[in-house]
Structure 1
Amino acid sequence: MLWKKTDNHPTAATNCNVDESENLALNKTTSQLNPFLRNKWGADRAVDGQHSDLSSEGGQCTVSAYGKSTAEWRVDLEGVFNIQYIFVQYRTNNMVWDENHPNTGTFMGFSIYISNTTKKEEGMLCFKDTNYTRDTIPNPFTIPCRIFGRYVIYFNNRTHPPFPSGYSMFAYNDLCEVEVYGCPALDSIGEDCPSPCPDNCLQGQCDDIHGTCVTCLDGYGGQRCDQKCTDNTFGPNCTNTHSNCSDGGQCDHADGGCSHGCDNSTHDGYASCPSNRYGNNCQENCSINCKDPERCDKITGHCEGGCQVGWKGSRCDRKEASDQSPTSSSEYHLSPEVIYSIGAMFIVTIVIIIILIIKIRGMKRHSRENNRKDNDEHVTKTEASYDFYDTIPDDYFGYHVLAEVPKISTYGVLHENQNPSVALDVNKLNV
């Protein structure tokens, strides 16, 4: 059995003795997806071996950021191990753990993955809570998880509302301690892991209790991989079969190869040739001159559907004879349809050119006539202006010969009339 998952705690009868096994996670490298702002609650707090103070201020617990929809924490065991079970202690703030505890809702729904990479998707799901409620979820929690792996990953999420009853709105990984127990070597079995796995187990991995291999090396089968493949079977766990060796003999138990070659239409003795190959061990290429290029019978190489124009033979590898020299110009004759098309295009082109010439000439003629008309109108206007000036009388612009104005002696006037009022009038006149 590769791995086992139950609701019961592991016992000495089915697992390595916990008291005598090593905590594989102790002080190993850790990381978390959404750490809190302060380093005092770092991911390493969960593997420091301390969980006497389960509060956030005790310095022994990891605390993740608030308000996140996913929470993820992992420890690197720094090697692939035969894991037995995992111990998880969640943060309680040193309060009684029951249905009224505020952290039960954040613990519910968590998962544990075992992986050989840092990605949980590339590993195996060890445990996922789908049934616990606030008043039934245990803390601390011991999880049987018999899987080979390097990374132990704690995961929780709140990404698909509505959530089950009792769940918190956000996800957290407030872990005070995570301990991983199992055999520290891949090649050990038994209650205290003293015995090596069978020789033909792939990568030396086997069930820690019974010694059955996870999978076998190529060419071997059986629970302990101690049976050599027979009856034309080969590969890991003897799961591949074929009967294509040319002499009808047994193929190689590991890779399926044939000591005296393979039948036609097969590749490496067991796989059918690809569509563009044929022959013994698929060594020949189908002709590119097949009507369907590079597709032929996998045994004979005969083209499927005949040959392309100019080729003949069952494999389309011979060129058809020609009555004319390859360099003769008649080899490159044009079909009547092409000639008709070229002729029509030529005629249309000529007609278009003629129409353009006629239009250009008409435009030039029209332009010259407009210029001549404009010149005639200008000359007519100029002559008309000269005739107008000839008809104007001499006094049209108001010029007249002025007569001599007689001078009046104011002195004589003043002395001829001594009337003051008259003199006054004369003064006004002089003004």
Structure 2
Amino acid sequence: MYLEYMLLAVILFVASALQCPWGKFGDNCERNCSCYCALVKNNTAKHCRKSNGECSEGCIPGSYGINCTKNCSENCLNKICNQHNGHCTQGCIKNYKGILCNIPKDFSNPDTCARNSAQPTSVVILGSCLAFSVLLNIILCVRCCVLSFKRRLKTSKGRRNPNNESENQKHDHCIPLQISCPRGF
């Protein structure tokens, strides 16, 4: 039984040497964790790594960095940013852009302004309708020209060979046909 207590004492001594009490860090646990460290869930204490003071549970909203000592940009939406790099995770407040929301929007250049997302869709639909109607008109015009050509060809055959002339005679007096499409197509 004495051996068990000794073993337990050694384990507790080694464990205490590896960890600092809640809210402390450093070689001798002499330094306080940053007051910007988030609280451990269901606890009122803060915890940070013994070696460098990095907040174990992340930062409170509005802070970032290893020790949570840097402030998120004032232009971050809800002043919330990534705890490691400070990038605004919820976007920017009005009139700012960029990953850190530190670039003012230039309203003099229309390419940087926010656009209505419905606008490109309506342009695509309108363009598609226009292309379809042009293609349909071309098809109808070609069809009308072909039908007109066939009618004229039929009419000219009937006029040219009334007495069953030989093939050679038929071609001697051929008149070239002029093909024209009806107006309006």
Same fold (TM over 0.5): no
TM-score of the two chains, using structure 2 as the length reference: 0.36
Answer with 1 or 2: which has the greater Rg. 1
Report which of the two has the higher share of helix.
2
Q: Which of structures 1 and 2 has the larger relative contact order (alpha carbons within 8 angstroms, sep 6+)?
A: 1
TM-score of the two chains, using structure 1 as the length reference: 0.19
